[in-house]
A = this chain, B = another copy of it.
Amino acid sequence: MKNTFGNNISLTIFGESHGTGIGAVLDGVAPGIAVDEAFIASQLDLRRPVGAISTPRTEQDKFVIESGVFAGYTTGTPICILIPNENTKSKDYGEIKYKMRPGHADFTAFAKYHGFADYRGGGHFSGRITAALTAAGAILISALRDKGIFIGSHIARCAGTDDKGFDNLSTDIDLLNKKAFAVLDDGAAEKMQSAILAAKRQGDSVGGILETAVTGMPAGVGEPWFDTIEGMLSHALFSIPAIKGVEFGAGFAISDLHGSESNDEFYYENDKVCTKTNNNGGINGGITNGMPIIFRCAVKPTPTICRMQNTVDIKLHENTELAAGGRHDPCIVHRARVVVDSVTALVLCDMLCGSFGTDWLVK
C-alpha cells in the first residue's frame, strides 16, 4: 500500500502543503486509551518552527479529531486527525512549477505523477505532512508511556558539532522531551544554532544526526526475516523527508570491530537477562533483547535554499538556474526530532500489538 504503514496498527497519511488540509488516519488502536489533546498540541509545538533558525511560515496546527475518540478515550475505530492548512502563500511557488529544486522531490514527483501533482510548497512531499504523523504519534507515545516504554531523541550532531552522548537514559529522555531544541549539552546547542544562523545568512542550509533511545521494550518482539525491528523502523523512518541513513547500536562503526568487541555479553541482573554493552542497539536477530533500542538517523541539509543553483526547466526542456523563493528552514534537524519519535512509536506499537494482540496497549 502506498501512504499507509503498519499491519496491526496502521497509519494512512494524506494532504498537500497548500491544499485544503492534511491529516492522518490511525487504525487498530485499542479502545480505552485516554486521548489528551493538550499533549497532542504540545507535540505539534515541538515540530513547529523555532525563532530565527526556522521557516517564517507558522501554521497554528489546529487539529480536529474527526473520529475514533469518544468522551476522551479511543473507541477502537479509526482515528482521523485533520489539520487544516491556513497560512499558505502559494504564489511564492509559481517558479518551481517547471524549475526543479535540486535535492527536492520536484523532478521525481513530475516523473511519477506526469505533471498532475500539486507542486505548491512541495505538495504531498512537504515536510508539513509530518504534522499529521506527529499528531497521530502523540496518541501512541502516551499509550506507550503508560506501558513503561519511553522514547527520546537528541540532536547528536548538527552542522559539524557533536552533542554529548546519552548517559542516564531515563533522565535524558525526560529532559529532551521538554526541549524545543533537543540537545543534552547546552553548549553544543549554542554552537549548532550559530552554525544554522550562519548558513541562513548565506542562503544555505545544514543537516545533522538524530539519535533515539527507547527504554522499556520487552524482549522477544520483532520477526526474524523482513519484519525485523530494524527493518520496520528503517522502513518508516526513511519516509521522513531528508533522512538518508539509519543505523542501529554501534551502526557503521561496528564494521571496524572484532566479534569479541562487538558482541554484547549477557549476564543476569535480578533474574533479567541484560547485556554489558549495547553495540547491537537492543536488537539481536531482528528481535528485541530487552535492552534499550538505540538508533541514529542522518538528516540531510534542507534542499530548498536561496542560493542560486543550476537546474532544469522541464517545460522548456532546457538548463536554467533557480534561487528558491518561498519560506523555508535553514535546518530541519531539530524539527524532525519529534517526527522520529512519532514514527518510532507507530512502529513499536504495531509490532507489540502483532505479538500480544490489539488490546495489549490497555491491558
Check A75 against B117 for contact (C-beta < 8 Å): yes
Check B112 against A220 for contact (C-beta < 8 Å): yes
Contacts of A74 in B (CB 8 A): 116
Check B287 against A207 for contact (C-beta < 8 Å): no
Of the candidates B13, B254, B287, B300, the one whose C-beta lies within 8 Å of that of A78 is B13
Known contacts: A111-B219, A123-B77, A220-B111. The answer to whether A244 contacts B244 by CB under 8 A is no
Contacts of A307 in B (CB 8 A): 259-260
Contacts of A262 in B (CB 8 A): 103, 207, 300-301, 303
Report copies per complex. 4
Contacts of A167 in B (CB 8 A): none
Decide if A163 is an interface residue (CB 8 Å cutoff): no
Decide if A193 is an interface residue (CB 8 Å cutoff): no
Check B245 against A312 for contact (C-beta < 8 Å): no
Contacts of A112 in B (CB 8 A): 31, 76, 219-222, 287, 355
Contacts of A205 in B (CB 8 A): 258-260
Decide if A152 is an interface residue (CB 8 Å cutoff): no
Complex alpha-carbon distance, A277 and B358, angstroms: 31
Which chain B residue lies CB-closest to A102? B263
A96 to chain B, nearest CB (A): 12
Check B78 against A14 for contact (C-beta < 8 Å): yes
Of the candidates B107, B244, B255, the one whose C-beta lies within 8 Å of that of A298 is B255
Known contacts: A103-B264, A354-B358. The answer to whether A255 contacts B222 by CB under 8 A is no
Complex alpha-carbon distance, A41 and B58, angstroms: 35
Complex alpha-carbon distance, A205 and B289, angstroms: 22
Decide if A95 is an interface residue (CB 8 Å cutoff): no
Check B79 against A82 for contact (C-beta < 8 Å): no
Complex alpha-carbon distance, A314 and B262, angstroms: 22
Complex alpha-carbon distance, A101 and B264, angstroms: 9
Mask: chain A, 212-229; 1 = CB below 8 Å from B; 0 = not: 000000011111111110
Check B80 against A300 for contact (C-beta < 8 Å): no
Decide if A232 is an interface residue (CB 8 Å cutoff): yes
Decide if A142 is an interface residue (CB 8 Å cutoff): no
Of the candidates B67, B268, B276, the one whose C-beta lies within 8 Å of that of A16 is B67
Check A256 against B108 for contact (C-beta < 8 Å): no
Complex alpha-carbon distance, A226 and B7, angstroms: 13
Complex alpha-carbon distance, A360 and B238, angstroms: 27
Of the candidates B13, B67, B206, the one whose C-beta lies within 8 Å of that of A20 is B67
Check B109 against A285 for contact (C-beta < 8 Å): yes
Check A252 against B298 for contact (C-beta < 8 Å): yes
Which residues 236-284 in A have Cβ within 8 Å of B in the complex? 236-239, 241, 243-252, 254-268, 271, 273, 275-276, 279-281, 283-284
Of the candidates B108, B267, B314, the one whose C-beta lies within 8 Å of that of A220 is B108
Decide if A4 is an interface residue (CB 8 Å cutoff): yes
Complex alpha-carbon distance, A16 and B69, angstroms: 10
Write 28 A-B pairs (CB below 8 A) sorted by A numbering.
Answer: A3-B224, A3-B226, A7-B8, A14-B77, A14-B78, A20-B64, A21-B80, A25-B25, A70-B123, A102-B265, A103-B280, A105-B287, A107-B266, A107-B273, A112-B355, A207-B257, A228-B239, A230-B244, A235-B235, A244-B280, A247-B247, A250-B300, A255-B298, A259-B302, A263-B303, A266-B312, A267-B310, A355-B359
**Beyond the given A15-B66, A103-B263, A263-B303, could you list 6 further A-B residue pairs with CB under 8 A, ordered by the A residue number?**
A2-B28, A13-B78, A226-B235, A245-B254, A259-B300, A356-B359
